[in-house]
Amino acid sequence: MAEAMTAPSPLVSLYEKSAKPSKERIPDDVVENVKRESAARIVDVIGRRVSGGLKKQGREHVGLCPFHNDKTPSLRVTSEKGQWFCHPCKLGGDAIGFVEKSDNLDFPGAVRRLADDLGVPLEPRPAKPKVAATYRYTDEHGAVVGVKRRWEPGHGGKAKSFDWRGPDEKAGQPDAARTLYRLHEVAAAIQAGNPVLVVEGEKCADALASKGFVVTCNDNGAGKWTERHTALLRGAVVVVLPDNDDAGRKHAADVVDALAPVAKAVRRLDLPGLPDKGDVVDWLKAGGTVDDLRGLVSEALSRADDSDWRRDVDRALADVREHATATTAEALVARGAIPFQSLAELEASDLPKTRWLVSGLVTEKAVAVISGEPKTAKTWVAQEIAVAVATGGRVFGEFKTGEPKPAALFLVEDGASNTRARLRGILDGHTDVNAAAKAAAAKRLSVRCLDSLDLTDELHLARFVASVRRLPEPPAVVVLDPLRDLHTGAEDKSDDMAKVSAALRTLRNVLDAAVVFVHHAGKATETQKGRRGGQRMRGSSALHGAVDAGLHMYEPQNTVDEATRTTTMRASVESEVKAGRSAGTFGMTLVIVDAATAGDDDRGECERATFTFSRQRAAERAKDDAAERDEDTVLAALKTRHDEHPDDPQIAKTALVALVGGKAERMRAAVERLSRGGGVSCATGARGAVLLSYSPAKAEAFVAKRNPDPFGGAEITGTGVLDL
């Protein structure tokens, strides 16, 4: 009785049927070698795996199929095609597929087994270096002076390498390595006044020469241009085509700089749509045509010479990128170990003193913020700083700036008319400098209005840096107003604000100047009450944490006198400086005469704008600070007593007064303030004593609301006897 047979499989190759997923990766050239060798020896491979081996039958070999209960030879192997097939199984394929099924292996396993059986190395043999191209360098008359050979793959495991031969192609380093490629064609083009294209390598030069262009390059490409190369192009009309990478752009800038004094004309042509790290050959492969290139060359030669500007942008971009990569892991490791110093060494060293741009407010080369809620004259204050720096006058009539220095302002929201009126009004309002100083300052103040800039885009930043560097004198301060229009990130996301902060520091370092930016603060809502200074800046605290100095405007009190056409703006100012003693908290008053829009601190034009420093508001703020310290002293003392006697919530006021140093009147006032929501309540006890009840939870909430800690909750610390 015949054994039951399973239904035949559909007609598919065994490879398709049996291949299994595997994480193992065998190089493609190794797989191809195994396929080729196993196909040639498929009779041996399969014959060892079938019962009774294979027997020749005509042009094929036959045998018993091991994949079903074969009684008559149904397996057929065709050595000419390197294939096998079994009709009952409806299976077939190559030797690798057979071994997969017969040896129960996945595809990589079958390849490895066959490679071992057939002696095929699993590691590809490195290809032997071969000469891929030869470049013959000539003199002006066409005589060969040296031959450069391009090897692919290169020697020493490199993708490519080069070597030199003399004119007779014998080994040696000829003088040709110091000349220009295809020099005889270049010399003829100079004589005829035709343009010469400069590219970065012989391969590109030959490709363009075959299209009818006169092209040259120097040996070794980027960074190897010499004075001799420059001399050979004296009087030439030159168009430089840079590769699209940093090295290529720098090389093009160097070539343009070198040729500018000696060439008849030199232009740089950045090919549109050139892929990253691509060259002119890649541009042609991507669809650029010879006619397109001729048109672009003609257009480049017809335009005004902008090589200086392009060079400036390239160098600014390199500086921006150099600073941006200065904090990578590789760069940090390259800087070596951190040099710690002992306190004794610090005390013995001559440390630099704090240098001020504006004494008590902004240090030199600081990243500084002017923040505030609406109607606190932020833009006016930013421009007041710029004017005071340019005149050598005093900010708010109080804070010194030193010798006059240039200042630059980049104002996104304000037009030229408003800006002119404001700056002139602020200049005229400075009574601490004379007319000559004001006239000189007008030339030191450089302004750009209603333009766009994305600080986090390196090309935008490089263009801005190059533009500032073109000013007659480098500015000591750059004002950016407002910050919200100078980036595309989300203000409440710390990662986005970290990028903005990094860009501001890059700008500061590359320009070697202070950067002052204007930023908004949240309005005085219930959640904002009690917050001080930079804590009220809008968005992520990452921005506040990154600045070196700040002026924070709050408590605006603005009035308008229509009769005298005067707007008076008052605000409290809290200053902070990381590397120096700040001016603390003070008051500022701005009187604007002839305001075009009454009370509008962001748009009003004026005839004169005068700032004054208010010591009275500073004294008021100092008084408020002292009152808060008294409250903290009372709460700390109560906390100490409460911790010592947790089961007795009432504490005699007489004991409290003695505990805090006997300042009865001040303590009584502090207690009265705290009884209105500070976790303290009063009651009259025996013999006229006043008893206080203390609620730790309410006290903590009071302090947190009055002066929130951005890094955690408020904490009241009792220290025993506290002295005012």
Determine the distance from the C-alpha atom of residue 473 to the mean position of all C-alpha atoms in its chain, rounded to a whole number: 27
Distance CA 149, CA 146 (A): 10
Secondary structure (H, E, C), 685-697: CHHHCEEEEECHH
Q: pLDDT band for position 689 (50/70/90)?
A: low
Range from 331-340, 400-409, 526-535 carrying the lowest mean pLDDT:
526-535
Amino acid present at 566: T
Question: Edge-to-edge strands of the sheet including 265-268?
Answer: 215-216, 195-198, 237-240, 265-268
- The SS3 of residue 460 is helix
CB 131 within 8 A of CB 160: no
Q: How many CA atoms lie within 13 A of 394 on its CB side?
A: 11
The whole-number pLDDT of residue 526 equals: 38
User: Averaged over 348-369, what is the pLDDT?
Assistant: 89
Long-range contacts of 467-474 (CB under 8 A, 24+ apart): 468/408, 468/511, 469/312, 469/316, 469/511, 470/312, 471/406, 471/408, 471/446, 472/406, 472/443, 473/406, 473/444, 474/406, 474/511, 474/512, 474/513
The whole-number pLDDT of residue 17 equals: 38
Q: Which tokens belong to 96? A: 């690798």
Do β-strands 477-481 and 407-411 pair in parallel, antiparallel, or remain unpaired? parallel
> Closest Cα to residue 30, out of 125, 105, 98?
125
Percent of the chain with pLDDT over 70: 81
The whole-number pLDDT of residue 685 equals: 61
CA 242 to each of CA 204, 286, 576: distance values in angstroms, whole numbers, following the listed order: 11, 17, 48
Contacts of residue 442, Cβ cutoff 8 Å, sequence gap at least 6 = 427
Distance CA 80, CA 34 (A): 16
- The SS3 of residue 468 is helix
pLDDT tens-digit profile of 147-174? 888 888 777 667 778 887 877 766 665 6
> Closest Cα to residue 558, out of 566, 550, 568?
568
User: Averaged over 561-589, what is the pLDDT?
Assistant: 88
Distance CA 170, CA 164 (A): 9
Round the CA-based radius of gyration of the chain to a whole number and report it. Answer: 41
Distance CA 504, CA 430 (A): 30
The whole-number pLDDT of residue 149 equals: 86
Contacts of residue 616, Cβ cutoff 8 Å, sequence gap at least 6 = 587
Distance CA 657, CA 667 (A): 7
Question: What would the DSSP string read from start to end of 62-84?
Answer: EE--TTTT-SS--EEEETTTTEE
Amino acid present at 660: V
Angle between helices 458-469 and 307-324 (to 10 degrees): 120
- The SS3 of residue 241 is coil
Partners of 411 in beta bridges: 449, 481
- The SS3 of residue 664 is helix
H or E stretch including 165? strand 161-165
Asked if pLDDT for residue 449 goes beyond 80, the answer is yes
Q: Which tops the pLDDT comparison, 643 or 48?
A: 48
The whole-number pLDDT of residue 686 equals: 58
Distance CA 222, CA 355 (A): 42
The CA-based angle 508-513-515, given to 5 degrees, is 60
Contacts of residue 272, Cβ cutoff 8 Å, sequence gap at least 6 = 296
CA 616 to each of CA 243, 535, 621: distance values in angstroms, whole numbers, following the listed order: 64, 24, 9
Asked if pLDDT for residue 354 goes beyond 60, the answer is yes
Amino acid present at 485: D
Distance CA 238, CA 216 (A): 10
**To 10 degrees, the CA torsion angle through 321, 327, 331, 332?**
170
Range from 53-62, 182-191, 268-277, 701-710 carrying the lowest mean pLDDT:
701-710
Q: pLDDT band for position 599 (50/70/90)?
A: very low
Distance CA 613, CA 395 (A): 9
Burial class (CB in 10 A: 0-12, 13-18, 19+), 374: exposed
CB 214 within 8 A of CB 187: no
pLDDT tens-digit profile of 407-435? 999 999 888 888 999 999 999 999 999 99
CB 138 within 8 A of CB 145: yes
pLDDT tens-digit profile of 79-101? 888 999 998 888 899 999 999 99
Partners of 572 in beta bridges: 554, 587
CA 599 to each of CA 116, 371, 417, 561: distance values in angstroms, whole numbers, following the listed order: 90, 19, 18, 10
The answer to whether the Cα torsion of 55, 59, 64, 66 is positive or negative is: positive
Percent of the chain with pLDDT over 90: 35
The whole-number pLDDT of residue 492 equals: 87
CB 196 within 8 A of CB 238: yes
Do β-strands 566-577 and 585-593 pair in parallel, antiparallel, or remain unpaired? antiparallel
Query: Mean pLDDT for the chain?
Result: 81
pLDDT tens-digit profile of 224-243? 898 899 999 999 999 999 99
CA 556 to each of CA 304, 413, 563: distance values in angstroms, whole numbers, following the listed order: 52, 22, 22
Q: Which tokens belong to 304? A: 């005004």
Question: What would the DSSP string read from start to end of 425-439?
Answer: HHHHH-TTS-HHHHH
The whole-number pLDDT of residue 564 equals: 84
Q: pLDDT band for position 540 (50/70/90)?
A: confident
Partners of 570 in beta bridges: 557, 589
Q: pLDDT band for position 576 (50/70/90)?
A: very high
Asked if pLDDT for residue 711 goes beyond 60, the answer is no
